[in-house]
Amino acid sequence: MSHLRPAGKAPVLDLAITGFTLALLVAGLRRPFLWVLAYLYIDILLPQKISWSLLASLPISLIAFVLAFLGWLLLDAKEDSRFTLRQALIVVLLAYCGITTTMADFPEPALEKWAWVWKSLVFAVFLPLTLRTRLRIEAAVLVMVLTAGAIIISGGIKTLGGGGGYGTLRLFVADNAGLYEGSTLSMVAVAMIPLVWWVARHSTIFPAEWRTRLFALALTFACLLIPIGTQTRTGLLCIALLAVLSLRSVKRRFLYIAMAGVVALAAIPFLPESYTQRMSTIENHKADQSASTRVAVWMWTLDYVEHNPFGGGFDAYRGNKIKVEMRDVEGSGNNVSVDVNEAYDESRAYHSSYFEMLGEQGWPGLSLWLWLHALGLWQMERIRARWSKRTGPGTGWQAPLANALQQAQLVYLAGSLFVGIAFQPFIFMLIGLQCGLWSYLKRIDAPSRPPAIRRAPVLRTETA
C-alpha cells in the first residue's frame, strides 16, 4: 500500500487511528494495564501499516511492547501472578526456536521470521501475568474481539458490495501481514464467533442488552461473510466444524440443526459463482494445482525430516523441489478419460502449521507445539466441567469463556491443517488468555487454609 501523503487535508481514517493509538498510550500513564491492551490492539490491527504519517515512522509495536512490560514490572502488583506449565512450555519452545534459527538452512529469511516470532512467544508468556482479575480478562477479550472485528466488518461490507475474490479482497492493509492474509483472516473470523457471543452475554463492560446482542449478530454475519469474500476453502471447513462444536452448547439441538440447514440452503443461490467453483475443488483436489502442490510439499517435508529430525530452521521450505501430478477426469461410466499433467515447482511454502513446525523445528518442536495445544484443550475442558454446574453470584461466566476459548482453539487447529500459521500472534494471544483464565480460576478456587490454632502451654507439676 502506498503511504504517499495525499494533497490537501489528511484522511479521516489516518487521523482517527493515529489519535486513538496515541491516546491509548497516554492513558497508560494512569492505568499501566492499558499498555497491555494497546499492544493487543496494535499487533492485531497494525495501525502503523494503515497510517502514512506519524505511526508509519515509529516502531509503535515495539514501543507498546516495552511499555506493557515496564508498566507491569515497575507499577503493577504481582502477588497474584502465577507462572503455569504452558508458559514454561512456551519458554522452552522459544529457546528451541532460537537454537534452530542459529543453524537454519537459510539464515537471512530465518532471522526475518525470528524477528516477529520471538515477540509473539514472549508476549504469550507475559500476558497471563497481567490478567489478575475478571475485569482484566474481560478487557483483553473485548479488545481482541473489537480490533479483529474492525478488519472483519470492513471485509464483510466490501464482500456485500461485490468486492470479494480469492486474493483480491481489499482490507485496511494491502499485503499479507498478520490477519490480512485471506486464509488466516477466514480462520480467525470463524474462531472468534464464540468469543463474540461470550462478550455479548457475559461481559460486564458492556451491558447484556438488545443493542449488544444486535451488534454481536451483525459481527457474526460479517465473520461468516469473510470466507466468502476471501473465497478460501479453509474458511468453509472452519464454519462446518464450528457448527458441529456448537451442538454441545445449544439447548434445542434439533431446532438448531434444522435452522442451520435452512440458512445454508437459502444462502447457496446468493453465493458468487467463482466461490462455488473454488469450493468444488475440495472434493477433487487432484485436479487443483494448489491442493496438489500442498500434498507434494507435505511429502517432501516428511522425507526431509528423515535426514534432519531437528528441522531446518525458519523458512526451510525454500529448499524444496517438487513434482506435481494433476489428474483431470472427464466423462462417466465406461467412457472415462484421465489426463495426467506434470508440473515442477520449488520453494513452495508448507501451507500447514503441522508441517511448518515439523519442517522448521523438527520432531522436538512439533511435539512441544502439540503438547502446548493439547494441554490447553484439556485445561479449558476442566474449567468447563468444574464451573458449569455452579450457581450463585459471579459464577456464570467462567465455563462459557472456557468453552468459547476451547472452540476457538479447535477451529484454529482444524484450519491450520491447510494454512502455515503455527506462530500466528493472534493465536498465541488466545493461548495467553487461556493461561490467564486457568491461573486466575485456580487461584480464587483454591481452598482457604484455616487459621492456625495456638494452643496454650500445659503446666506440669511434679509430685514428690
Write the DSSP symbol of residue 423.
T
**Degrees to nearest 5, angle at CA 335 with 331 and 336:** 55
Residue 275 domain flag: yes
Q: What are the E-state strand segments in 196-349?
A: 321-332, 335-346
Cα 69 to the center of its chain, rounded Å? 22
- Among residues 379, 384, 393, 416, the alpha carbon closest in space to that of 186 is found at 416
Which residues partner with 337 through β-bridges? 330
Reported pTM: 0.86
Residue 438 domain flag: no
Task: Quote the pLDDT of residue 464.
Answer: 38
Q: Are 4 and 52 in contact (CB under 8 A)?
A: yes
Residue 20: which residues within 8 A CB-CB, separation 6 or more?
Answer: none
Residue 239 domain flag: yes
Instruction: At 364, list the grid cell.
Output: 522436538
Cα 63 to the center of its chain, rounded Å? 22
Q: Which long-range contacts (CB under 8 A, 24 or more apart) does 369-375 make?
A: 369/93, 369/422, 371/89, 372/86, 372/89, 372/90, 372/93, 372/431, 373/409, 373/413, 375/85, 375/86, 375/89
Write the DSSP symbol of residue 247.
G
Rounded CA-CA distance 41/150 in Å is: 11
Low-confidence ranges of the chain (pLDDT < 70): 1-10, 162-168, 256, 260, 262-291, 325-343, 446-464
Residue 218 domain flag: yes
Residue 220 domain flag: yes
Task: Quote the pLDDT of residue 8.
Answer: 39
Domain count, the chain: 1
Task: Quote the pLDDT of residue 150.
Answer: 92
Q: Which domain holds residue 241?
A: 142-283
Encode pLDDT of 54-96 as tens digits. Answer: 888 888 999 999 999 999 999 888 888 888 999 999 999 999 9
Residue 362 domain flag: no
Write the DSSP symbol of residue 316.
G
The sign of the torsion formed by the CA atoms of 46, 48, 49, 52 equals: positive
Residue 120 domain flag: no
Query: How many residues would you count in the chain?
Result: 464
Backbone angles phi, psi at 175, to 5 degrees: -95, -175
Residue 202 domain flag: yes
437: number of Cβ within 10 Å: 23
